[in-house]
Structure 1
Amino acid sequence: MNDFPACTRCAYDLRDDEFGRLLCHRCEDRAAQQLAAIQGPRGLYAQLAQHLQRGGSSGGPAVSGSKAAPAPLRVDILSLQCAGGPVLGPLEGWVRAWEDAGHAELNEAGGLRERVDHACQTLRFNLRWAVEHHLAVDEFAKELDIIHRTLTGITAGETPPRRIAVTCPCQQTLRITLDVRGVTCPACRTEYGHSDVLRLPLAERRAAA
């Protein structure tokens, strides 16, 4: 066992030029690249609109004047696009947390894509401060990785992992996927590993009790 400081995200030993940081340069660069990939008119969040409609049965082009019912929309993508969904919600949540620490600035003006873009931009701008000073930056990097993998999976034609809602003993609802590595409750700050968080009761069952 060594006593060298390690990156709180990947657990690799920090190099000499990384001492005093919470994340290594590689994990910082990865987070910056993921934020950049999410934002913008051609970013992963904007691309969700291209996958919103389920394919029709005919597979042919739309015909003007057709009385056929429109193809149903994908509920999972609608969830990702909404204001309180698993993309904008966590991103703006981290902006609020960093704003409370004197960094970043929340802006809820404009449309949803504009808000996503602003959140990504301000998080990228303040990322260097976060990797050096914010004690929960590893949790931020984990959540960002989940968001990025989910969006990439959809835009690449893959089925995203199913999200389930579980309840922390403090009554906070946590939305996780079955492959989640771990999560920290935003209300009481309790940290759960993969197996621990999967043992929490389902939120729906508690509500029905």
Structure 2
Amino acid sequence: MDDRDGAPDPCPVCKRLSTRPHDDCRHDLDRTLAQLPSLYHQLEQALPPGRRGTTSRAPSYGTRLPVRLDSLDLRARGGIEGVLTCWETDVRHHLALPDTPYRGTVEQQINSAVTFLRGNLLWILDQHPAAGDFATDIHNITAHATTVITGEPRERRLRLACPCGATLAITLSTPGRLCACGQQYGFHELRHLDLAPRNAA
């Protein structure tokens, strides 16, 4: 991590101040990445409409769609595959590696991208300028897929008030957040902030 001014940067995953990403945060993100090939397979079982896990409604007119769009979107190119491939391409660019190869099916692309990203995870969290965005994207796509499969409602979003006057949008599993004022909040620090007023920007 860049430490030019002598002060530690926040961990890109949980936002707690640290001289480098925490081992537990890295291991958690590695486990999350490792789940994605399995979640891709499980989404196939969620394709038929009307099964447990349905989060989208069929139109009240016309012909009922033969598949669930939320599951189909995640399994199609640009879904889970799109998130992983975009990040692999970006990491390859930063490391001056050859472009991401075409590997065939969506499943093959997901499996290979997960292998690549897990193999470079330490560098990503230590050196990538958008490591926090990477962690957020991986957690979000995993949570979305899990929601579609299990049928559990998406986590409720809360708006918290920073003493500077800004609001921070989080869910109950948000590991940390950096406020626009520069204040970094870890998981526990966020839980001690007050809820923002309903009319807060």
TM-score, normalisation: structure 2? 0.62
Task: Answer yes or no: is 1:46 the counterpart of 2:41.
Answer: yes
TM-superposed deviation, 1:9: 2.5
* Cα distance in 1 for residues equivalent to 2:65 and 2:89: 38
* Cα distance in 1 for residues equivalent to 2:47 and 2:70: 9
* Cα distance in 2 for residues equivalent to 1:132 and 1:27: 12
Query: 1:53 touches 1:73 (CA, 8 Å); kept in 2?
Result: yes
Query: 1:34 touches 1:148 (CA, 8 Å); kept in 2?
Result: yes
The one of 31, 34, 43 aligned to 1:33: 31
Which amino acid in structure 2 is aligned with residue 96 of structure 1?
T
Q: Determine the structure 2 residue equivalent to 1:130.
A: 124
Task: Answer yes or no: is 1:81 the counterpart of 2:71.
Answer: no
Deviates more, 1:102-111 or 1:44-53: 102-111
Q: Determine the structure 2 residue equivalent to 1:158.
A: 152
Distance 1:159 1:81, change over 3 A: farther
TM-superposed deviation, 1:88: 1.1
Which amino acid in structure 1 is aligned with residue 13 of structure 2?
R
* Cα distance in 2 for residues equivalent to 1:70 and 1:148: 28
* Cα distance in 2 for residues equivalent to 1:135 and 1:76: 31
Structure 2: unaligned runs, 5 residues or longer:
1-6, 52-62, 156-169, 175-201
Moved over 6 A (4+): none
TM-superposed deviation, 1:107: 3.0
String of CA shifts for 1:28-52, please: whole Å, max 9, x gaps.
111100111112xxx0111100000
Aligned residues: 145
- What SS does the corresponding residue of 2:100 show, helix, strand or coil? coil
Distance 1:113 1:155, change over 3 A: same
Query: 2:32 touches 2:139 (CA, 8 Å); kept in 1?
Result: yes
Query: 1:7 touches 1:24 (CA, 8 Å); kept in 2?
Result: yes
* Cα distance in 1 for residues equivalent to 2:82 and 2:121: 18
Which amino acid in structure 2 is aligned with residue 90 of structure 1?
V
Task: Answer yes or no: is 1:13 the counterpart of 2:17.
Answer: yes
Q: Determine the structure 2 residue equivalent to 1:198.
A: none
TM-superposed deviation, 1:158: 2.4
Query: 2:70 touches 2:148 (CA, 8 Å); kept in 1?
Result: no
Query: 1:95 touches 1:105 (CA, 8 Å); kept in 2?
Result: no
* Cα distance in 2 for residues equivalent to 1:29 and 1:72: 39
TM-superposed deviation, 1:159: 4.6
Q: Determine the structure 1 residue equivalent to 2:92.
A: 99
Query: 2:12 touches 2:125 (CA, 8 Å); kept in 1?
Result: no
TM-superposed deviation, 1:120: 0.7
TM-score, normalisation: structure 1? 0.60
Distance 1:80 1:30, change over 3 A: same
Which amino acid in structure 2 is aligned with residue 53 of structure 1?
P
Which amino acid in structure 2 is aligned with residue 48 of structure 1?
L
* Cα distance in 1 for residues equivalent to 2:120 and 2:28: 15
Identity percentage of aligned residues = 27
